């Protein structure tokens, strides 16, 4: 492996420090917590980036994200039980969530199978499944299992691919870190432009 000159101002250097410390885990968990309730941007944006930059931290980052998603889903589940109309209104105010999506999620989880929350690729947000679970089957243990399965199926492949890429080409990624970050940002912006339209 070719040594890359150290540049303390390089964006990857700062992101490496974030990924290596407890603050990075807290950022990931907080993002996932917020996304599980109302934040419209999925946590694989930050988890994937940090896994690309520091593949050795991918598992810890994924676990932090999953724990944040579990905590946020628990809060949304409780809110949905207490005030289902208010939560439904909140969800419908978010980008790309609409009444047919809520109805589809309710049908998907009606049987109480946690696997019904697992999906590959973009689609129904976790928060929609959580709301549907709360007003449907209702079991908190089933919801927890569904959240974990959702994160494994929905975010796991993204984190795995980016961690492999980060392991395979660390020198290239650091040499062109600004370009890599720009491409990464543009890719997610394009994804959201399509998804939210």
pLDDT digits (tens), the chain, 197 positions? 444 455 556 788 889 988 999 999 999 999 999 999 999 998 999 999 999 999 999 999 999 999 999 999 999 999 999 999 999 999 999 998 999 999 999 999 999 999 999 987 668 999 999 999 999 977 999 999 999 999 999 999 999 999 999 999 999 999 999 999 999 999 989 988 887 77
Please name the residues in contact with 41: beta carbons below 8 A apart, sequence gap of 6 or more. Answer: 31, 35, 192
Sign of the dihedral through C-alpha 59, 51, 151, 29: positive
Angle at 38 between CA 33 and CA 41, to 5 degrees: 80
Helices (H), the chain: 11-20, 22-37, 44-53, 58-82, 84-92, 99-109, 126-135, 140-154, 156-168, 170-175, 177-195
Query: What single string gives the DSSP state of each residue in 130-188?
Result: HHHHHHTT--HHHHHHHHHHHHHHHTHHHHHHHHHHHHH-HHHHHHTHHHHHHHHHHHH
CB atoms under 10 Å from CB of 55, counted, come to 20
Structure tokens at 84: 């289902």
**pLDDT, position 67:** 98
The first and second tokens of residue 5, run together, are: 């000159």
Q: Where are the domains of the chain?
A: 11-179
Q: What is the pTM of this model?
A: 0.90
Cβ atoms of 100 and 80 within 8 Å: the answer is no
């Amino acid at each position: 492996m070719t040594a890359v000159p150290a540049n303390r101002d390089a964006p990857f250097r700062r992101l490496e420090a974030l990924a290596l410390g407890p603050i990075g885990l807290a950022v990931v968990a907080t993002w996932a917590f917020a996304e599980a309730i109302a934040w419209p941007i999925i946590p694989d944006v930050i988890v994937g980036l940090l896994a690309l930059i520091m593949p050795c931290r991918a598992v810890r980052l994924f676990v932090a994200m999953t724990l944040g998603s579990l905590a946020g889903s628990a809060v949304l589940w409780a809110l949905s039980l207490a005030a289902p109309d208010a939560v439904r209104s909140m969800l419908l105010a978010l980008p790309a969530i609409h009444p047919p999506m809520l109805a589809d999620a309710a049908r998907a989880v009606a049987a109480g199978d946690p696997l019904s929350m697992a999906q590959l690729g973009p689609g129904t947000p976790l928060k929609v499944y959580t709301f549907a679970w709360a007003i449907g089957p209702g079991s908190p243990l089933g919801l927890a299992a569904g959240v974990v399965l959702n994160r494994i199926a929905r975010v796991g492949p993204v984190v795995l691919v980016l961690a492999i890429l980060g392991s395979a080409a660390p020198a290239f990624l650091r040499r062109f870190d600004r370009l890599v970050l720009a491409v990464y940002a543009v890719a997610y912006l394009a994804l959201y432009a399509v998804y939210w339209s």
